[in-house]
Structure 1
Amino acid sequence: MIIDDLVKELPPGRVITDPDQIGAYCNDEHSYVTPGQACAVVVARERDDVVAALRWASRNRVPVIPRGAGTGIVGGTAAVDGCLVISLAKMTAIRELSAEDELAVVEPGVINAELDRQARKLGLMYAPDPSSYETCTIGGNIATNAGGLRCVKYGVTRESVLGLEAVLADGSVLRTGRRTIKGVVGYDLTALLIGSEGTLGVVTEATLRLRPAPKQPPVTVAAEFPTIRQAAEAVWAIIRCAVGPSLLELMDRTTLVAMDEWRNIGLDPATGAMLLGQADGSDAQAAAAVMAQCCEAAGASVVAVSSDEAEAAQLLTVRRTAFNAIERLGACLIEDVCVPRSKLPEMFDAVTRIAEQYKVLVPTVAHAGDGNLHPVFVFDRSLPEIPAEVWAAADELFRAALALGGTLTGEHGVGTLKRHWLGEELGAETLAANLAIKRALDPLGILNPGKAI
């Protein structure tokens, strides 16, 4: 059998062939993508494991699914029948932390939060912080160009990646980028690989930009509004003031009610939305004061400003656990659209209208400072598949975002779920260019087939 050849080419214990064990590696956290059955799993511990696995897969024309921690929610790591899964979760070395050059060199299985913790010991930080930061890996973050709560100031993953090492479909090793902040030699292959969802190469090392950690605790602004539109208008007002918030997160009433029923947060019956903002740096107090003024001018019923770290942590816990509260309401299709920040009020209006039109519960949270909304379509958990009215509502929501100049996904990726709408955003010519790049780097089409493009 050809699997025997793979087992022989790798050190003992690297290849899993037991079907009962393989199943745990065949899907991500989205339970509504039905995975195929992989033929084997390679648990990589070093780059050469990935090289050997891809050479074997290329010779035998076996599809390959790269996988990190499996925290994605768009079916990006869903197996196809007969594929080989390459798990990078055991490649966890932080090879270098340089305080002098403010960079880190890491393997793809390093947990996002662990890198940040190690950087903090040097007075630095790793800026991207997705909601799953305690479990998601750097490799997965790179694959989807993940964002997080701090990206309004520090940018998404792309802004923190200086260079990559990746193994291509034929097993050859590609090195991109550099250790410097600037550099324009050659095409920007680093940016090309970021967000490619494992369809162009398998990342085995990343050189990442670190940033000075703020010396003082951030100042937090918490504001409650009668309506979600007023909260969205406050966000746009804050952006126009150019005070540089480090965080602007928005939760609608449905989300807050779910949280109150779960954790008893003392929700006021008149509160229709909550906005959490933070400012860090030497001008944090002044920036927070401006944010508070913007909230008041937009009609906030309550505005509180605090420098207390414990209080700030408690508020951010509410935001970070919002999806946990929502999941208690039923099965969830978690979506991720992004619009220009000036269009946030209109997009929230569209969410409200679509939810009412299709009679679907759609609690929504947002990285509002980026214009990135996460509407969650909730439906009966006993149903075997996503109901038609949910897909119809999601379809209209995607089209509304595109009509406002937005995008189908800000940070979750396309995966399996959103390929149907790619043509609507990219157009025929741009899609053809994407496919040409795919064919150039993966001529056999074995890398994560059926995903992203």
Structure 2
Amino acid sequence: MSRTLVELLQDGLPAEAILTDPDVTSSYAHDMASFCAAGDPAVVVLPRTVGQVQHVMRTATELRVPVVPQGARTGLSGAANASDGCIVLSLVKMDRILEISPVDRIAVVEPGVVNATLSRAVGEHGLYYPPDPSSWETCTIGGNIGTASGGLCCVKYGVTAEYVLGLDVVLADGRLMSTGRRTAKGVAGYDLTRLFVGSEGSLGIVVRAVLALKPQPPQQLVLAAEFPSAEAACDAVCRIMEGGHVPSLLELMDRTTVKAVNALAQMGLPETTEALLLAAFDTPDPAADLAAVGALCEAAGATQVVPAEDAAESELLLQARRLSLTALEAVKGSTMIDDVCVPRSRLAEMLVGVERIGEKYGLTVGVCAHAGDGNTHPTVCFDATDPDEGRRARESFDEIMALGLQLGGTITGEHGVGVLKKEWLAREIGPVGVEMQRAVKAAFDPHSLLNPGKLF
């Protein structure tokens, strides 16, 4: 008689690393995205070593069982959603920081390390790991790598892909492959490291990452500028970038978002504004930079410009921005969070178009944005218990993505494709692009066991 999946897994995993209780495994079935189908996993495994991950993949290949890799499940596209009968491979127990090198300016970490934990640890050495998604207190580095995540600092420091120097990856058949380097430079062969960043666990399982670090910058100061319209705020963004300024942060919150944050946290943000722009500098003289940017905001029509007086006041403003998505979810109980990135020069058209789409469907749609790099997060608020409202939410979501493509943008700047945007990926990259991506997938995962049903 052939041995069962669980029996084979037990050969290389301790008992506590294997979860089979349906009430427990169901809690691992999905991430935070709405409208994304999720199946029932056969088993959840929580390995602690590379060897244990290799054993899981060898077992999966032998039995042809799909494997869905997971981090903290804070994703917003369904990329971590289980499929029926799969092995959910949760990497949260692989959470060690293996090395921090101030000389080489690198950190070597396992995939389950929480973003904020790493940031604080390298800070003790006078170093800085810039990528900071809004969920940085809970999201993991492995998940950040899987979705090529960004954050508030992208306008100056870039996204996760720019900080991943090398990876150790367990392939679908259980072999271990190393990519990239730990040196400051290196161009040997194809850049397989970049290939894995943003692949959403569909090509291999990241079990170790070499990350680039920067010296800790000076404490940033933040400026808040109120605008009578979204167009005026976007005009200010264009003036700031055209003027050669390099803010460490340039974020936008529309009227709906500001009101939602106030309702959730009573932060006293100005609800009379149509758009609130936050700009920050971590330069040696941030006050001078803020003054220059403040003048540009006023020239664009800002009704009030208020620079923070100290780090504490700056952090309060940043906390308001970080609460945006949580606050919008509280408006109706459910949200569909879009992630459309457009050229900065088209940002105003994007925001005006989103407002019209919300009016068309009779829905509340709040927008917060990494304005400095054109990455908008239109967030459709709806009542999930109302089928008609749910339908309208999905249709408005699709129209927002279509608008982004029409403006020369992309359907996702940092959240990934997952289940939610599969059809839209095909529209963006075209049939030849899909064909070549499928060919890459087949080379690494010929039996299509890794995160099946995601991306395309």
Residue-by-residue CA offset, 1:328-368 (whole Å, 9 max, x unaligned): 11111111110011111111111111111222210010011
Residue-by-residue CA offset, 1:375-408 (whole Å, 9 max, x unaligned): 1111114236972222221222111111111000
Q: Is the 8 A contact 1:26 1:37 kept in 2?
A: yes
Q: Is the 8 A contact 2:336 2:397 kept in 1?
A: no
Instruction: State the shift of 1:67 in Å.
Output: 0.3
Instruction: Tell me what 1:157 maps to.
Output: 160
> Is 1:379 the equivalent of 2:382?
yes
Instruction: Tell me what 1:321 maps to.
Output: 323
**3-state SS of paired residue (1:265):** coil
> Is 1:439 the equivalent of 2:433?
no
Could you tell me how far apart the structure 2 residues matched to 1:386 and 1:270 are?
A: 28
Instruction: State the shift of 1:7 in Å.
Output: 1.4
> Is 1:107 the equivalent of 2:110?
yes
Letter in 2 for 1:234: A
Which residues of structure 2 form unaligned runs of 5+? Answer: none
Instruction: Tell me what 1:39 maps to.
Output: 42
Instruction: Tell me what 1:117 maps to.
Output: 120
Select 1:202's aligned residue among 205, 212, 227.
205
Q: Is the 8 A contact 1:354 1:397 kept in 2?
A: yes
Could you tell me how far apart the structure 2 residues matched to 1:53 and 1:43 are?
A: 10
Instruction: State the shift of 1:424 in Å.
Output: 1.3
**3-state SS of paired residue (1:9):** coil
Which residues of structure 1 form unaligned runs of 5+? Answer: none
Select 1:247's aligned residue among 246, 249, 269.
249
> Is 1:79 the equivalent of 2:52?
no
Q: Is the 8 A contact 1:229 1:345 kept in 2?
A: yes
Select 2:182's aligned residue among 147, 154, 179.
179
Instruction: Tell me what 1:345 maps to.
Output: 348
Residue-by-residue CA offset, 1:266-291 (whole Å, 9 max, x unaligned): 34453111001101122433322221
Q: Is the 8 A contact 2:13 2:47 kept in 1?
A: no
1:263-412 residue pairs with structure 2 within 5 A?
A: 263-330=265-332, 331-383=334-386, 387-412=390-415
Letter in 2 for 1:226: P
Letter in 1 for 2:41: A
**3-state SS of paired residue (1:181):** coil
Q: State the TM-score, normalizing by the size of structure 2.
A: 0.97
Instruction: State the shift of 1:218 in Å.
Output: 1.2
Instruction: Tell me what 2:426 maps to.
Output: 423
Select 1:57's aligned residue among 49, 60, 63.
60
Aligned residue pairs: how many? Answer: 452
Q: Is the 8 A contact 1:250 1:273 kept in 2?
A: yes
Instruction: Tell me what 2:262 maps to.
Output: 260
Q: Is the 8 A contact 1:32 1:386 kept in 2?
A: no
Could you tell me how far apart the structure 2 residues matched to 1:265 and 1:5 are?
A: 54
Letter in 2 for 1:277: A
Could you tell me how far apart the structure 1 residues matched to 2:451 and 2:31 are?
A: 13
Letter in 2 for 1:143: G
Q: State the TM-score, normalizing by the size of structure 1.
A: 0.97
Residues 289/201 of structure 1: CA separation in 2 closer, same or farther (3 Å cut): same
Q: Which moved more, 1:253-262 or 1:196-205?
A: 253-262
Select 2:169's aligned residue among 146, 159, 166.
166
Q: Which moved more, 1:293-302 or 1:383-392?
A: 383-392
Select 1:236's aligned residue among 229, 235, 238.
238
Instruction: Tell me what 2:219 maps to.
Output: 217
Letter in 2 for 1:173: L
1:128-143 residue pairs with structure 2 within 5 A?
A: 128-143=131-146
Q: Which moved more, 1:377-386 or 1:253-262?
A: 377-386
Residues 12/266 of structure 1: CA separation in 2 closer, same or farther (3 Å cut): closer
Residue-by-residue CA offset, 1:247-299 (whole Å, 9 max, x unaligned): 00100001111122233333445311100110112243332222111111110
**3-state SS of paired residue (1:34):** coil
**3-state SS of paired residue (2:416):** coil
Select 1:98's aligned residue among 89, 98, 101.
101
Instruction: Tell me what 1:226 maps to.
Output: 228
Instruction: State the shift of 1:243 in Å.
Output: 1.4
Could you tell me how far apart the structure 1 residues matched to 2:378 and 2:277 are?
A: 16
